[in-house]
Amino acid sequence: MINLEVPRKFAGLVNQAHQVAVEFFRPNSRKYDQAEHAYPKELDLLAAVLDGMNSSGEGATGNAGAGGVRRGKDSGGGIRNGGNLATLLGIIELCWGDVALLLSMPRQGLGNAAIASVADEEQLSRFGTKWAAMAITEPGCGSDSAAIRATAKLDGDHYVLNGEKIFVTAGGRAEAVVVWASLDLSKGRAAIKSFLVEKGTPGFEVVRLEHKLGIRASDTAHLRLENCRVPKENLLGSPEIEVERGFAGAMQTFDNTRPLVAGMAVGVARAALETTRELLAEAGVAVDYDRPANSQHAAAAAFLAAEADYESAYLLTMQAAWMADNNRPNSLEASMAKAKAGRAATEITLRCVELCGSLGYTENALLEKWSRDSKILDIFEGTQQIQQLVVARRLLGKSSQELR
């Protein structure tokens, strides 16, 4: 039986993450949104505190980034609430504060999640403390990860990487980048592997940083790899091309990280709803949970509909993370959570802007910023359309070749 209430053992984590959001993220949210590409130096101290918590075994807010996520081990039939759920709960609280500042935190990125998901123990010991970005999308390859054209050719003790990557979150600031590339383009999906490329490696270049609609405190980079030689030990996972298995090993990262992105969306949506409820109350609009929505003020009815949308996204997201902790296949649930939460956050934040009138549209409140930040959560880690395609394939039992 799945119990989707917050486990008592994570109460301290949730409280600490919320305090970080209240004391640092919210007060600095507007500042770093306006100062695009300026690195929030205050995050260095926060990251050091989180690293200390992780190394001491305390966990706490240190689990609140993507870096510590791994598949749960078989619990022998028992129920466990582990790192995935802890990470998700921390992310929800931090993104209630600010999504972009979370994405800017050292060693808490999606590249770190990839390392944690597929690296062996030796690689974890070498790369576990590095701040790693994730580089998948290419100029000619957006949502279809299987269409990647970056290549990796084995040459002695090194792989030679060539290609371009775009929209790389933290690509300019991170110490290393997890690059998806193909060992053999003729073998299709099965040949796609991930490689850790450290900054400063010859042939690796940050071309530019993008100017964006939202998450402006977070840097988004365009990268180029030209005859970039990477030690063969930096290939994450197995170097074998297993045609029957496809690129399931690389895609396993998404089963862990898609619920986390859904959690980001849940956090932003909750922030918008709470602020909107307060502003409606100040305007004399009461939201009554004991009366039918159609018998209340139109604004209250719209708010109740948005809140119901939020609750469904929250529950789907919790379920997907819980399944990962308990070693249950969750590809379907991860995509369902990402699709629902991404769409809900975008619709909820825009509806809140509308309900709050001038306070929602101007910079007097953070509502307009949250509406801008939320859109990316419906796009990266797989767009809305891709998630729906994954869900359809799973439910209908179709392969990617059968249902495109």
Q: What's the CATH code of the domain at 270? A: 1.20.140.10
Supply the pLDDT for residue 48: 78
Of the three residues 72, 90, 123, the one that is the final residue of a domain is 123
Of the three residues 187, 208, 236, the one that is the final residue of a domain is 236
Q: Is there a domain that residue 402 lies in?
A: no
Do 230 and 276 lie in a common domain? no
Range of the domain at 38: 8-123
Do 365 and 260 lie in a common domain? yes
Reduced to 3 states (helix: H, G, I; strand: E, B; else coil), residue 181 is: strand
Do 135 and 117 lie in a common domain? no
What digits encode the pLDDT tens for the residues 338-373?
Answer: 999 999 999 999 999 999 999 999 999 999 999 999
381 is catalytic: yes
Do 232 and 329 lie in a common domain? no
The tens-digit pLDDT sequence of the chain (404 residues) is: 456 678 889 999 999 999 999 999 999 999 999 999 999 998 988 887 776 655 545 544 434 455 555 555 555 556 777 888 999 999 999 999 999 999 999 987 778 888 887 888 999 999 988 999 999 999 988 777 778 999 999 999 999 999 999 999 999 999 999 999 999 999 888 899 999 999 999 999 999 999 999 999 999 999 999 999 999 999 998 888 876 555 555 566 788 889 999 999 999 999 999 999 999 999 999 999 999 999 999 999 999 999 999 999 999 999 999 999 998 999 999 999 999 999 999 999 999 999 999 999 999 999 999 999 999 999 998 899 999 999 999 999 998 889 98
Do 270 and 382 lie in a common domain? yes
Q: Is there a domain that residue 201 lies in?
A: yes
**Helical (H) or strand (E) element with 205:** strand 204-209
What whole-number distance in Å separates Cα of residue 26 and Cα of residue 363?
14
For 265, the token pair is 């969306």
The percent of residues above 70 in pLDDT, for the chain, comes to 89
What whole-number distance in Å separates Cα of residue 387 and Cα of residue 332?
9
Of the three residues 191, 207, 236, the one that is the final residue of a domain is 236
For 351, the token pair is 């509806």
Q: Is there a domain that residue 230 lies in?
A: yes
Catalytic residue among 5, 347, 381, 402: 381
The number of beta carbons lying within 10 Å of the beta carbon of residue 399 is: 9
Do 381 and 256 lie in a common domain? yes
Given a contact cutoff of 8 angstroms between Cβ atoms, the answer to whether 306 and 352 are in contact is: yes
Q: Is there a domain that residue 384 lies in?
A: yes
Do 105 and 25 lie in a common domain? yes
Supply the pLDDT for residue 190: 86
Supply the pLDDT for residue 81: 79
* pTM (2 d.p.): 0.91
Strand duo 192-198 + 158-169: pairing: unpaired
Do 281 and 380 lie in a common domain? yes
For 127, the token pair is 């790369």
Q: Is there a domain that residue 403 lies in?
A: no
Tally of structural domains, the chain: 3
Q: What's the CATH code of the domain at 176? A: 2.40.110.10
Closest CA to 127 of 30, 231, 226: 231
**Residues sharing a CB contact under 8 Å with residue 159, sequence separation 6 or more, in sequence order:** 152, 153, 181, 195, 229, 230, 231, 232, 234, 235
Given a contact cutoff of 8 angstroms between Cβ atoms, the answer to whether 220 and 231 are in contact is: no
Q: Is there a domain that residue 60 lies in?
A: yes
Q: Is there a domain that residue 363 lies in?
A: yes
Do 144 and 220 lie in a common domain? yes
DSSP letter, residue 130: S
Count of H-run helices and E-run strands, the chain: 13, 8
Reduced to 3 states (helix: H, G, I; strand: E, B; else coil), residue 336 is: helix
Do 224 and 158 lie in a common domain? yes
Q: Is there a domain that residue 55 lies in?
A: yes
Closest CA to 344 of 228, 284, 236, 266: 266
What whole-number distance in Å separates Cα of residue 397 and Cα of residue 403?
10
Do 363 and 385 lie in a common domain? yes
Do 28 and 157 lie in a common domain? no
